């Protein structure tokens, strides 16, 4: 029988060859915001929201 090696890597630690970067939770939001601004849709969405709120206030 082979003796068990107690110094083996259990897989809980990340070694350098399989490093996975931890994603920032704000990264997707910032990319989405930049895409909206780059296509000029932000101004259009603000106008739609503003007109919707003004219609609600008049009623």
Query: pLDDT per residue over 5-17, tens digit each?
Result: 555 555 455 555 6
Q: Please report which confidence band the pLDDT of residue 45 belongs to, taking 50, 70 and 90 as the band edges.
A: confident
Q: Which phi and psi angles does 47 have, rounded to 5°?
A: -65, -40
**pLDDT at residue 7 in the model:** 54
Token reading at 39? 């296509």
User: Is the pLDDT higher at 32 or at 39?
Assistant: 32
**Nearest CA-CA partner of 32 in 21, 45, 19, 20:** 45
- The reported pTM is 0.34
Q: Give the mean model confidence (pLDDT) for residues 31-49.
A: 82
Rounded Cα distance, 8 and 2, in Å: 14
Mean of pLDDT values over 31-58: 83
């Amino acid at each position: 029988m082979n003796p068990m090696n107690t110094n083996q890597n259990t897989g809980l630690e990340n070694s350098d060859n399989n490093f996975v970067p931890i994603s920032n939770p704000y990264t997707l939001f910032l990319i989405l915001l930049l895409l909206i601004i780059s296509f000029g849709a932000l101004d259009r969405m603000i106008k739609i929201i503003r007109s919707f709120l003004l219609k609600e206030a008049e009623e």
